[in-house]
Amino acid sequence: MGNCSVVVLDFETTGLSPHYGDRAIEIGAVLISDNEIVDRFQSLMNPGMRISSFIEDYTGITNKMLSTAPPVDEVMADFHSFMDQHHLVAHNAGFDCRFLDAELDRIRRKRVGEFACSMLLSRRIYPEAPNHKLETLVRYKKLKTTGVHHRALADAEMTGHLWIEILNNLKESFDLRDVSFDFMRRLSKVPKAKVPLFLKKAAEEQGY
């Protein structure tokens, strides 16, 4: 497990709440090490239930596509190995965290790494952005787009590029050297009004 390596992940699901029966239907993830994507994981998964026409339209994933996909439990066991002990990143991480933990519970496995949220960070680092949807931030920061929005691997890759952009912007604009995962997690929880002071203090403590 490298110093600055994280797994950035994204789920497509049957709905918004795993506690009310929603399941994962696709996972996409990228492993980032030293500011580069060095590995990828992607799979559709058969949730054992029909998905709504809203989800078919929203994701482009159809019931027919899922009928030939491997079962969720099988894919999640593979993904458990892929994420290993890495820390995790997602856009609106609370959503993906709930689904990840719910699906891991079903196969009696646990997550080791902690989550950081690129949406909470973007709200603090880019308060002037039109909004903080992933799609908007990718356009606003002129990041590389690969594939179609609302498919898991494409969204995971774009979230990965956004994560790298946030790290670079913090280093360049705020004179920060130490942008460890723990630092990012702490920053994502600082009250928005106190972010400038938090970054100023961090830069001072790092010897500038």
**CB-based contacts of 11: which residues, under 8 Å, 6+ apart?**
24, 26, 27, 95, 96, 99, 100, 152
Q: From 6-14, 30-38, 161-169, 178-186, give the range in contact with DNA by CB under 7 A.
A: 6-14
Tell whether residue 58 is a contact of DNA (CB under 7 A): yes
Compute φ and ψ for 41, nearest 5 degrees: -140, 130
Task: For residue 135, state whether it binds DNA (rule: CB under 7 A).
Answer: yes
Q: Is 21 in the site for DNA (CB under 7 A)?
A: yes
Burial 34-64 (b: 16+ CB within 10 A, else e): eeebeeebbbbbbbeeebeeebbeebebeee
Count Cβ neighbours within 10 Å for each residue of 75-105 and write b for 16 or more, e otherwise: bbeebbeebeebbbbbbbbebbbbbbebbbe
Q: Pick one of 20, 67, 85, 128: the residue that binds DNA (CB under 7 A).
A: 20
Question: 13 or 83: whose CB is closer to DNA?
Answer: 13
134: contact with DNA by CB under 7 A: yes
* Site for DNA contains 19 (CB under 7 A): yes
Q: Among 123, 183, 198, 203, which residue sits at the site for DNA (rule: CB under 7 A)?
A: 123
Q: Please say which residue, 139 or 200, places its beta carbon nearer to DNA.
A: 139
192 binds DNA (CB under 7 A): yes
12 binds DNA (CB under 7 A): yes
Sketch the per residue contact string, 97 through 116, with DNA: x for CB under 7 A, - otherwise. -x------------------
Q: Which part of the chain contacts DNA (CB under 7 A), choosing from 34-42, 70-78, 125-133, 168-176?
A: 125-133
- Sequence-distant (≥ 6) Cβ neighbours of residue 14 within 8 angstroms: 22, 23, 25, 47, 49, 51, 52, 55
The CB-of-22 to DNA minimum distance in angstroms stands at 8
Residue 136 has φ and ψ, to the nearest 5°, of -65, -45
Q: Tell me if 43 contacts DNA by CB under 7 A.
A: no
Task: Return the CA Rg of the chain.
Answer: 18
Q: Decide if residue 175 touches DNA (CB under 7 A).
A: no
| Residues engaged in binding DNA (CB under 7 A) | 10-13, 15-17, 19-21, 55, 58-59, 91-92, 94-95, 98, 119-120, 123-124, 131-135, 150, 155, 189, 191-193
